[in-house]
Homo-oligomer: A and B are copies of this chain.
Amino acid sequence: MVIRTLTPPALPVAPAEPPLKVSFKAHMLAVREDAIVQAVNRLLAEKGFDLMTVDQVAAEVGIAKASLYKHFPSKEDLAAAAMVRVVGRAQAFLAGLPANARPLDQLKAMVRWMMQLQLAGEMPSLPHHNSSLRTTLVNNKAYVDGLMQVSEQLGGWIEQAQQDGSLNSSLPALLVLYTLYARACDPVLEFLKASGLHSDQELVELVVRTCFEGLNARPT
């Protein structure tokens, strides 16, 4: 599809930990930064970018705000780091999927994973409109590369599923991809969760069904 410019990738996932010889100091720094990014991730999921303050991040990590700025140069870069982390988790999840499953099932598994992440309060939510944030993101190579790799993987499955007849082949592949991505921030999840009528698991299955089968009655 459009996004993939090369051949389908073998999905080598970058190791989360650096090589062998790391000094104790460097290790502590990595641990500290991971704690920061984790806090940012949680706060972004809870409040969104605009309502999250750097003071809150510092308080949650338990360090001074000025110390944060020694690690990350701006609030936007904090958010970008959280997005890099999420994309990395997505890559790890994809890498752990059974390689011999049907493409359609791979796609459904990915959608389920994204929705479970949202329900667990671990899916960062960024505003669509903030342009300085967008600039920071598109300039972040780790984020762009990671997202591209995920998109290439999903795009390959989409094309395969359209060829094997399990996905509607009259839909543009890009529409399918975006429709799947949109499940990561689907407001239906939180609204329906607020109704208290369904468990998280039921919710995920219901939304997966509406996404793939639609609202119409199936012809029998």
Contacts and interface: CB of A to CB of B under 8 A. Distances in A.
B219 A176 contact: no
A174 B192 CA distance: 8
A168 B211 contact: no
Interface in A172-217: 172, 174-176, 178-179, 182, 185-188, 190-192, 195, 197-198, 206-207, 209-217
A171 interface: yes
A166 to B, nearest CB: 6
A18 interface: no
B128 A187 contact: yes
Say how many copies of this protein the assembly contains.
Answer: 2
A215 B193 CA distance: 24
B178 A209 contact: no
Given A166-B216, A168-B215, A128 B190 contact: yes
A210 B175 CA distance: 9
Interface in A116-144: 125, 127-130
Interface stretch (A4-12, A42-50, A62-70): A42-50
A215 B129 contact: no
A178 B197 contact: no
A161 B50 CA distance: 40
Contacts of A101: none
Interface of A: 2, 46-48, 50-51, 104, 125, 127-130, 165-169, 171-172, 174-176, 178-179, 182, 185-188, 190-192, 195, 197-198, 206-207, 209-219
20 contacts: A51-B130, A125-B128, A127-B127, A128-B190, A167-B217, A168-B213, A168-B216, A171-B206, A171-B215, A172-B206, A174-B192, A178-B188, A178-B191, A179-B210, A179-B215, A211-B214, A212-B216, A213-B214, A213-B216, A214-B215
